[in-house]
Amino acid sequence: MIEMCEDFFLILRFAKNMYDCRMDKQFKKLFGFYELNGDSYWELAYETISWVFQDTRLYYNDEKEIETWLFIDPVIDRFCELCQQYERQKGISETDNHYQKYMAKIAHNGFNFNSCSYAYSWRLSAEDRGRKCLLLFTDCEFCCYDEISNGLMVIKDGFEMINQKLEREMNQETRIMPLSLVTAAQWKEAA
Protein backbone atom coordinates (compact mmCIF):
# COMPACT_ATOMS: atom_id res chain seq x y z
CA MET A 1 0.00 0.00 0.00
CA ILE A 2 1.31 3.45 -0.91
CA GLU A 3 1.19 6.00 1.87
CA MET A 4 -0.09 9.39 0.72
CA CYS A 5 0.59 12.77 2.21
CA GLU A 6 -2.20 13.39 4.72
CA ASP A 7 -2.80 16.86 3.23
CA PHE A 8 -3.01 15.55 -0.35
CA PHE A 9 -6.79 15.94 -0.60
CA LEU A 10 -6.66 19.38 1.00
CA ILE A 11 -4.19 20.41 -1.69
CA LEU A 12 -6.38 18.95 -4.45
CA ARG A 13 -9.45 20.75 -3.10
CA PHE A 14 -7.49 23.97 -2.88
CA ALA A 15 -6.21 23.60 -6.46
CA LYS A 16 -9.77 23.02 -7.67
CA ASN A 17 -10.94 26.12 -5.80
CA MET A 18 -8.17 28.16 -7.45
CA TYR A 19 -9.34 26.87 -10.82
CA ASP A 20 -12.98 27.68 -10.03
CA CYS A 21 -11.98 31.20 -8.95
CA ARG A 22 -10.14 31.81 -12.23
CA MET A 23 -6.77 31.95 -10.47
CA ASP A 24 -5.45 28.73 -11.99
CA LYS A 25 -2.73 30.40 -14.11
CA GLN A 26 -1.20 32.13 -11.09
CA PHE A 27 -1.56 28.91 -9.11
CA LYS A 28 0.26 26.82 -11.75
CA LYS A 29 3.19 29.27 -11.88
CA LEU A 30 3.68 29.28 -8.12
CA PHE A 31 2.77 25.67 -7.33
CA GLY A 32 5.79 24.26 -9.19
CA PHE A 33 8.06 25.72 -6.51
CA TYR A 34 6.37 23.90 -3.61
CA GLU A 35 6.70 20.37 -2.31
CA LEU A 36 3.52 18.39 -1.84
CA ASN A 37 3.26 18.58 1.94
CA GLY A 38 1.23 20.28 4.65
CA ASP A 39 3.64 23.13 5.29
CA SER A 40 3.73 24.06 1.62
CA TYR A 41 -0.04 23.85 1.46
CA TRP A 42 -0.51 26.43 4.21
CA GLU A 43 2.21 28.66 2.80
CA LEU A 44 0.54 28.56 -0.62
CA ALA A 45 -2.90 29.22 0.88
CA TYR A 46 -1.47 32.24 2.69
CA GLU A 47 0.16 33.49 -0.53
CA THR A 48 -3.02 33.29 -2.62
CA ILE A 49 -4.85 35.76 -0.39
CA SER A 50 -3.04 38.60 -2.15
CA TRP A 51 -4.07 37.47 -5.65
CA VAL A 52 -7.74 38.48 -5.65
CA PHE A 53 -7.74 42.24 -5.19
CA GLN A 54 -5.32 44.59 -6.90
CA ASP A 55 -3.77 45.87 -3.69
CA THR A 56 -3.56 43.70 -0.58
CA ARG A 57 -1.69 44.85 2.49
CA LEU A 58 -1.01 43.00 5.71
CA TYR A 59 -0.31 44.64 9.07
CA TYR A 60 0.53 42.78 12.24
CA ASN A 61 -0.09 44.07 15.76
CA ASP A 62 2.45 42.41 18.08
CA GLU A 63 0.74 43.57 21.23
CA LYS A 64 -2.67 42.09 20.40
CA GLU A 65 -1.37 39.35 18.05
CA ILE A 66 -3.81 40.38 15.32
CA GLU A 67 -3.26 40.46 11.58
CA THR A 68 -5.12 43.16 9.69
CA TRP A 69 -5.66 42.46 6.01
CA LEU A 70 -6.50 45.50 3.88
CA PHE A 71 -8.02 44.87 0.42
CA ILE A 72 -8.18 47.74 -2.09
CA ASP A 73 -9.31 47.49 -5.70
CA PRO A 74 -10.79 49.66 -8.49
CA VAL A 75 -13.93 47.47 -8.43
CA ILE A 76 -14.55 48.63 -4.85
CA ASP A 77 -13.91 52.26 -5.79
CA ARG A 78 -16.34 51.93 -8.71
CA PHE A 79 -19.01 50.44 -6.44
CA CYS A 80 -18.70 53.40 -4.07
CA GLU A 81 -18.90 55.93 -6.93
CA LEU A 82 -21.95 54.24 -8.42
CA CYS A 83 -23.69 54.04 -5.04
CA GLN A 84 -23.11 57.73 -4.42
CA GLN A 85 -24.52 58.60 -7.87
CA TYR A 86 -27.47 56.28 -7.31
CA GLU A 87 -28.23 57.78 -3.90
CA ARG A 88 -28.10 61.32 -5.30
CA GLN A 89 -30.27 60.35 -8.25
CA LYS A 90 -32.87 58.64 -6.05
CA GLY A 91 -32.60 61.11 -3.18
CA ILE A 92 -31.96 58.34 -0.64
CA SER A 93 -29.41 57.81 2.13
CA GLU A 94 -26.73 55.12 2.27
CA THR A 95 -28.80 53.14 4.75
CA ASP A 96 -31.76 53.08 2.34
CA ASN A 97 -29.67 51.94 -0.64
CA HIS A 98 -30.67 48.32 -1.32
CA TYR A 99 -27.46 47.78 -3.33
CA GLN A 100 -25.40 48.56 -0.22
CA LYS A 101 -27.48 46.07 1.76
CA TYR A 102 -27.13 43.43 -0.95
CA MET A 103 -23.35 43.91 -1.03
CA ALA A 104 -23.24 43.60 2.75
CA LYS A 105 -24.91 40.16 2.44
CA ILE A 106 -22.43 39.09 -0.23
CA ALA A 107 -19.51 40.23 1.96
CA HIS A 108 -20.98 38.34 4.91
CA ASN A 109 -21.19 35.17 2.82
CA GLY A 110 -17.66 35.63 1.49
CA PHE A 111 -16.24 36.17 4.97
CA ASN A 112 -18.07 33.15 6.43
CA PHE A 113 -15.10 31.01 7.49
CA ASN A 114 -14.95 27.87 9.64
CA SER A 115 -13.29 29.70 12.49
CA CYS A 116 -14.41 32.08 15.20
CA SER A 117 -11.08 33.90 15.49
CA TYR A 118 -11.68 36.68 12.98
CA ALA A 119 -13.72 39.76 12.20
CA TYR A 120 -14.27 41.87 9.10
CA SER A 121 -15.38 45.35 8.20
CA TRP A 122 -15.45 47.68 5.25
CA ARG A 123 -14.92 51.35 4.66
CA LEU A 124 -17.16 52.09 1.72
CA SER A 125 -19.04 55.07 3.01
CA ALA A 126 -18.34 58.61 1.90
CA GLU A 127 -18.46 59.46 5.61
CA ASP A 128 -15.66 57.01 6.51
CA ARG A 129 -12.15 58.33 6.72
CA GLY A 130 -9.53 56.76 4.51
CA ARG A 131 -9.55 54.75 1.32
CA LYS A 132 -12.47 52.58 0.26
CA CYS A 133 -11.49 49.07 1.29
CA LEU A 134 -12.38 45.77 2.91
CA LEU A 135 -10.76 44.80 6.20
CA LEU A 136 -10.18 41.34 7.65
CA PHE A 137 -8.86 40.85 11.17
CA THR A 138 -7.44 37.46 12.16
CA ASP A 139 -5.89 36.48 15.46
CA CYS A 140 -3.31 33.83 16.31
CA GLU A 141 -5.94 31.06 16.55
CA PHE A 142 -7.34 31.62 13.05
CA CYS A 143 -6.75 28.48 10.97
CA CYS A 144 -8.76 28.96 7.77
CA TYR A 145 -6.28 30.76 5.51
CA ASP A 146 -7.15 28.30 2.75
CA GLU A 147 -10.73 29.64 2.70
CA ILE A 148 -9.89 33.34 2.44
CA SER A 149 -9.03 33.53 -1.28
CA ASN A 150 -12.30 31.77 -2.19
CA GLY A 151 -14.28 34.12 0.04
CA LEU A 152 -12.56 37.15 -1.45
CA MET A 153 -13.37 35.94 -4.96
CA VAL A 154 -17.05 35.65 -4.00
CA ILE A 155 -16.91 39.23 -2.75
CA LYS A 156 -15.10 40.54 -5.84
CA ASP A 157 -17.60 38.81 -8.13
CA GLY A 158 -20.37 40.41 -6.06
CA PHE A 159 -18.88 43.87 -6.54
CA GLU A 160 -18.62 43.30 -10.30
CA MET A 161 -22.19 42.01 -10.54
CA ILE A 162 -23.68 44.87 -8.52
CA ASN A 163 -21.63 47.44 -10.44
CA GLN A 164 -23.14 46.13 -13.69
CA LYS A 165 -26.66 46.25 -12.21
CA LEU A 166 -26.16 49.80 -10.95
CA GLU A 167 -24.79 50.96 -14.31
CA ARG A 168 -27.69 49.37 -16.19
CA GLU A 169 -30.30 50.84 -13.86
CA MET A 170 -28.85 54.33 -14.01
CA ASN A 171 -28.44 54.17 -17.81
CA GLN A 172 -32.07 53.09 -18.23
CA GLU A 173 -33.29 56.01 -16.14
CA THR A 174 -31.34 58.56 -18.16
CA ARG A 175 -32.84 57.31 -21.44
CA ILE A 176 -36.46 57.69 -20.32
CA MET A 177 -37.97 60.94 -21.49
CA PRO A 178 -40.69 62.44 -19.30
CA LEU A 179 -44.07 62.47 -21.04
CA SER A 180 -44.50 66.21 -20.41
CA LEU A 181 -41.57 66.92 -22.75
CA VAL A 182 -43.12 65.06 -25.66
CA THR A 183 -44.80 67.45 -28.04
CA ALA A 184 -48.27 66.89 -29.45
CA ALA A 185 -46.82 66.21 -32.89
CA GLN A 186 -44.54 63.50 -31.54
CA TRP A 187 -47.45 62.04 -29.61
CA LYS A 188 -49.60 61.77 -32.77
CA GLU A 189 -46.66 60.37 -34.71
CA ALA A 190 -46.07 57.69 -32.08
CA ALA A 191 -49.74 56.71 -32.07
Select from 101, 97, 95 the least CA-distant residue to 86: 97
Residue type present at position 130? G
Instruction: Give the pLDDT score at 135.
Output: 92
Predicted confidence band of residue 31 (pLDDT cuts 50, 70, 90): low
CA distance 13 to 184: 66
3-class state of residue 20 by DSSP: helix
CA distance 60 to 38: 24
pLDDT digits (tens, 9 = 90+) for 66-120: 999 999 999 999 999 999 899 999 899 888 999 999 999 999 999 999 888 899 9
Residue 156 reports pLDDT greater than 90? yes
CA distance 25 to 48: 12
Whether 14 contacts 44, CB under 8 Å: yes
Sheet holding 118-123, edge to edge: 55-61, 66-72, 133-139, 118-123
Query: What's the pTM value of the predicted model, to 2 decimals?
Result: 0.75
What are the CA-CA distances from residue 87 to residues 83, 91, 96, 108 (Å)? 6, 6, 9, 23
- DSSP state, residue 37: S
Instruction: Give the pLDDT score at 1.
Output: 47
145-175 vs 74-90: helix axis angle to the nearest 10? 40
